[in-house]
Chain A
Amino acid sequence: DTAVSQTPKYLVTQMGNDKSIKCEQNLGHDTMYWYKQDSKKFLKIMFSYNNKELIINETVPNRFSPKSPDKAHLNLHINSLELGDSAVYFCASSPRGRLGEQFFGPGTRLTVL
C-alpha cells in the first residue's frame, strides 16, 4: 500500500520519560511534516522537512527534536515528557510544489501520565 505510516499508534508513558514516534512515506514526496492535534482538535504544525532539510520549526519546546534520516522518513523524538504533551501527533507528506495537498498518517495518540 502506498501511504504515510506512523508507529506506534498509541503511546502511554510516564512524565519525564523520553519517547520517539516514527513516520515513513512511500509516496516519493519531497516534503514531510509533523502536526500536533490537541484535545480541542486544533491542528498546529510543528516541523517541516524538505529533502531532509528543516524548513519549518515552529515555537515548539526544544524537548521536541525531529530527525530525517532520508527523504522517506521523519521521526519525532520527545525528551522529558510533560502532561501537556498529551495529544495526537500526525505525520504528513506532500509532493513537490503542492504543499497544500498533504497526505496524512493515521496519527499517534500520546498520553502522558
Chain B
Amino acid sequence: AQRVTQPEKLLSVFKGAPVELKCNYSYSGSPELFWYVQYSRQRLQLLLRHISRESIKGFTADLNKGETSFHLKKPFAQEEDSAMYYCALSGPSGSRLTFGEGTQLTVNP
C-alpha cells in the first residue's frame, strides 16, 4: 500500500525565514513524488516533481530514499507563499495519486 504523511497540519513562519514542509512516504517500489499547492480560493496545481529536480518559485524538494522523505524547502519565505501544500505519491505503473493530508503554510509579515 502507498501512503503519504505530512506531520504538520499548520506551519507558520515570518517573511524571509527558511521554511521546510515535511513529507514522508511508504511505498514498496520506486515512487514518483510530487508537491501540489492550493492558494486561497484557487484550484490545486502542481508545484514540482522529484524527477525534474527543478526549483519553482524558489522551492526545491529532494527525494531521500533512505529516509523515505520528500521535504519541500525554501530559503527565504514570502507572504505570497501562504497556501495549502500537499505532498503526493504515485507508483511507476500505478493508477492513482495518493495525497498527504496537507500542510497549511502561513508566512507572516
Contact = CB atoms under 8 A, between A and B. Distances in A.
B94 A104 contact: no
Interface residues of A, number: 21
Given A55-B95, A56-B95, A104 B43 contact: yes
Interface residues of B, number: 21
Contacts of B45: 103-104
Nearest to B44: A104
A19 B34 CA distance: 33
A102 B43 CA distance: 11
Interface string A57-100: 00000000000000000000000000000000010100000011
Given A100-B88, A100-B90, A43 B95 contact: no
Interface of B: 32, 34, 36, 42-46, 49, 84, 86, 88, 90, 94-97, 99, 101-102, 104
